[in-house]
Structure 1
């Protein structure tokens, strides 16, 4: 049975596995010029809207933990650029991670986002010692590689730092799936991130159902409806009636 989410309007939204999400992006890459670069930029703008909800971000430092080479990392860089352009104090914690699943165009799009980020002058650091002592918002832009990510001591340390920042009053926002949770099955590793909000990229993932992910919203990736229809498993694509974000209320 196809797993579904329900919006506050009563619309159904298909949940997809990690593999199915990659299929969607591959199809979108073929039917939408200029492809993945436009998708990353659209997602960055949509996530910026999500990050800007609530507290005035100019009052607190923002930390974005981003994995280079991953879709989430590229979107995190785009988010950092938008925040910096708005006068927000933002620090990017950059991590070089083992190569995960990829698709044509992602590497180039990601490197373009990193270069654009550097032009903002926002600090990019690689040691937890260089992070602000307290952050008002921490964004988890690490790739959705599942519980095994916590086997990496550096990732385990930064996840501990993020969870500690949340306990200290900072808000945590995860992109696509919180680090340490399997995007398909929802299996949760010890020490996994437990965000206040999870912003799914393009479609919700099946692993979000029942996992400690906080409030769940979907970010508009600018993918044409035709691309969704080319993947039979997406029976109910996202419809963004009221902006670039689609809150999900319940699942079944």
Structure 2
């Protein structure tokens, strides 16, 4: 039996499922091999990375955690060319789709991270992100799996650290138990103000949202729920 070297940090509990599936096409594999290295966020010392320095235009920076097939990330980046978008997705097929879109649309305001988002977040400087999206994260619906859900107190601490005061966070899910749990944890944290004023604010899809293929599959046990927060 071997032990972990004392200077090796513990990797956080995994919050996502498999990261690979069907084989990539030749074009997708070429994009992963050739385009992704230049777009990958250079993670280094904890708290040292100013994400604004990753982009040519010095506008706001938005972080999307778990972008799936990239539909939302790419369209938001296309709509807001002066905003820098950082997308995190450990699933290689989703990353390949995003790379295809980046190339096809000539997007120069997208940077990518193909690993656990929490590793990237640890590298980001305090108050350096202006908006965050967490849309339909893995719900881990079985009771024994729910410790793997992304929205945990320590994750919210890390998210709050990297967001600027007044930054917005959007969380969406189509699983009742996750909606209840996530809202309770966000509101209990103390650093996030829930912006809902009526039921429509969380029942109706936001006007600026970009629908994704995941939503169309209707895999959850309820209609999508949308929670928007402001960072205090």
TM-score, with structure 1 as normaliser: 0.38
Q: Which has the larger radius of gyration?
A: 2
Q: Which has the higher contact order (CA 8 A, sep 6+)?
A: 1
After TM superposition, the score normalised by the length of structure 2 is 0.40
